[in-house]
Structure 1
Amino acid sequence: MSRNTISRVHAKGDAFSIGFAVGRACAAAGSLERTFGSELYRALDARWRGSEYLKTLESAARGVYPRYVREIEGIAAGLHQDFETVFLWNCMGDLRLPEGVSPATKIIAETGCTSLLIPAKGDGPAILAHNEDGEAEFLGACLWVEAEPDEGPAWSSFTYPGMLSGDFGLNQAGIVQAMNNITPNDLQPGVPRHIIIRATMDAKGLDEAIEILKRKDRASGYHHNLGEAKTRRLVSVEAPASGCAVREVWLPRAHANHMLYGEFDGLKQTINPSSRNRQEAADRMIAEGALANGAEAVLFDETAPIYKNRQDEDSQTLAMGVFELFPDRVEWRVHAAPEERNALSGTMRVV
């Protein structure tokens, strides 16, 4: 049996019902201990549970996006956990790590993913491809959620245990997105970043998604890779709490886990050595023409490594998503490992 089974979960109805289906699937997969028993979660819980800062994040989220807070309430009910436990988990990127955590946990908090944006040629598709890297404990514990909400477009997304969806996925409006973790030193009270990426999953167009990322009340941020099937547009967006830099993509490019754009040259950030190595390796491979053999030729590279499967690595590649954007549809596939390609696949017609 695969050590990295990605369970496919169908959910429909209102926000609470969708969250409940996700939480119940996580509970059935036995992922509670892997989620709430980690040193990272325990450290954040000890420092921030009951704090005014966490209450401020909740208030900001409820004020702007109450539907997604309701989804978290559903996840908590499905997991048989209290709301604050699950909300705090969804805010882990918005909270500063307390002193005293192990170096390994600090590295995990700073790590992330690698993405490729490949513009369309002629009548061919634009391509967005993404390696989702995370703690090895999450191998076999993550979900592919396919949702039919009462409100907003249908969507499908890779989902961590206990988390809102949105890390990489697509919706029926033809919006595709993938997140890269960044660690700038500009955290502030505001709307948690995982609420923001859940909101972009509901965007009905690329410009609408970008406007969400330009909000000035965000608590922290990500680098966002976004595509729109109808126009085959691709954009790369660096969106820390203190700003938003948007780049239209005209040539193939890669992005790892640190900010590259000049708008943020003065903003202090943590650059993990793995992130620097993956960025340099991907840029080199693109320049050498590796994409002629497909996005997988770069994202499955094990020399840098871009694809992370070594036990001595700070994190592991949990899944790879490849999305081909045509004007009327998105064809997608999710690889669980190099030897387990197309673990999940499908076509979403654009409405």
Structure 2
Amino acid sequence: MQRNSIPRVRAHGDAFSIGVALGRATAAGFRERVMRTEEYNALSGRWCGSDYLKALESAARASYPRYVREIEGIAVGAEQDFDSVFLWNCRGDLRLPEHVSPTTKAIAATGCTSLLVPAQQGRPAVVAHNDDGAAEFNGACVWVDAEPDDGLNWSSFMYPAMLPGHTFGANGAGLVQTVNNISSHDLKVGVPRQIICRAILDAKGMDDAVEILRRKDRASGYHHNLGEAATGRLVSVEAPASGCAVREVDTARAHANHLIFEEFRSLDQKITLSSRNRQQTADRLIAEGALDVGSEGVLFDETAPIYRVDRDCDDKIETLATGIFELFEDRVEWQVHATPKERKTLCGTIAVR
């Protein structure tokens, strides 16, 4: 199978203009990949036009109208109606109908693997991440460099027609974010989690980002890895809809796509076998010193596997890209690997403003 080429897209202007550019860049992916999936069609059939989806939209517009405007631009650029694109941006806030296939349920419960590695012995702090998704999205994602009229510049990996932020990226304040899916069962009406992730791309620093995640009106949630270049501070945050737990990180740690903090021990969630295996394997590899050769020593593991490609895993997905962010006081140096054999497909530096 041909691997992800990861086109690089540059966008600038107001929120709507940026959205239009992103919609145009991912229009084919949305039309030919997303809209043909059972997941999208099941969600559309169940929720499009519903009062629940309208309530999510109202919550998003009330709290973050600029990001809804960005979605409006994405819809125009992709030549799709707003409702279809907004629904796609709420995929994690909506329950799938019971009749969907086990494979689609597994894909919806899937996630990624992230590492937080504090600075040590002259090495900068590192935030690293495998972004895993449905095989249909392989080759349909892009890397975005945005220069908004208002706010900080930012860069992020982006799925077709979906707000950037929920994958891996960084901004001009030197804030890095990588995100892991969680499948907790505490969904409620509130601000969609894609909107929350996008808001963090505009955060002015770590404290600002954590404050966003502490909002009590979130519709659902993710696990967030955050790094701040100026201070070298690393934070791991589990933020389902019903709570938020923050851990300052002073030793290397990994996180797959299920809740592991004590605060959420009793919260009902789906844990795939793959997620459990990746968490255990990453913890073991870190203890064995695999990080001595860099984050790739863990993220490219093929035993669990942590790095996944066209395998018969229980959640039926692939690693679409790997992002590595090194945090220096005045900058973030980043690189994106398309595959273990196609390293540094993209790279760059974001100066801290």
Fold-level similarity (TM above 0.5):
yes
1:70-96 CA deviation, whole Å, 9 max, x = no partner?
000000000100000000000000001
Please give the secondary structure, in 2, of the residue aligned with 1:99: coil
Tell me what 2:302 maps to.
302
1:219-268 CA deviation, whole Å, 9 max, x = no partner?
00000000000000000000000000000000000000110111111111
Call closer, same or farther: CA 1:346–1:2 in 2, change over 3 Å: farther
Offset of residue 37 of structure 1:
1.4
Structure 1 unpaired stretches of 5+: none
Matched to 1:203, the amino acid is: A
Q: 2:320 aligns with which of 310, 318, 321?
A: 318
Offset of residue 310 of structure 1:
2.8
Please give the secondary structure, in 1, of the residue aligned with 2:33: helix
- Partners in 1 of 2:195 and 2:184 — Cα distance? 18
State whether structure 2 residue 181 is matched by structure 1 residue 181. yes
- Quick check: 305-314 or 150-159, which moved more? 305-314
State whether structure 2 residue 20 is matched by structure 1 residue 20. yes
- Partners in 2 of 1:220 and 1:31 — Cα distance? 23
- Partners in 1 of 2:324 and 2:62 — Cα distance? 35
Aligned-residue sequence identity (percent) comes to: 68
Offset of residue 106 of structure 1:
0.4
Offset of residue 342 of structure 1:
0.3
Tell me what 1:227 maps to.
227
- TM-score of the aligned structures, taking structure 2 as reference length: 0.98
Matched to 1:156, the amino acid is: S
Alignment RMSD (CA, Å): 1.0
State whether structure 2 residue 274 is matched by structure 1 residue 274. yes
- TM-score of the aligned structures, taking structure 1 as reference length: 0.98
Offset of residue 30 of structure 1:
4.5
Contact 1:124 1:326 in 2 (8 A): no
Written as runs of structure 1 = structure 2, the 5 A alignment for 1:94-243 is: 94-166=93-165, 167-243=167-243
Structure 2 unpaired stretches of 5+: none
Tell me what 1:329 maps to.
331
Tell me what 1:259 maps to.
259
- Partners in 1 of 2:237 and 2:300 — Cα distance? 24
Tell me what 1:345 maps to.
347
- Partners in 1 of 2:301 and 2:20 — Cα distance? 37
- Partners in 2 of 1:325 and 1:119 — Cα distance? 9
- Partners in 1 of 2:47 and 2:310 — Cα distance? 33
Please give the secondary structure, in 2, of the residue aligned with 1:348: strand
Contact 1:112 1:134 in 2 (8 A): yes
Matched to 1:239, the amino acid is: A
Structure 1 ranges of 4+ moved more than 4 A: none
Tell me what 2:57 maps to.
58
Please give the secondary structure, in 1, of the residue aligned with 2:231: coil
Offset of residue 152 of structure 1:
1.0
- Partners in 2 of 1:247 and 1:334 — Cα distance? 26
Tell me what 2:3 maps to.
3
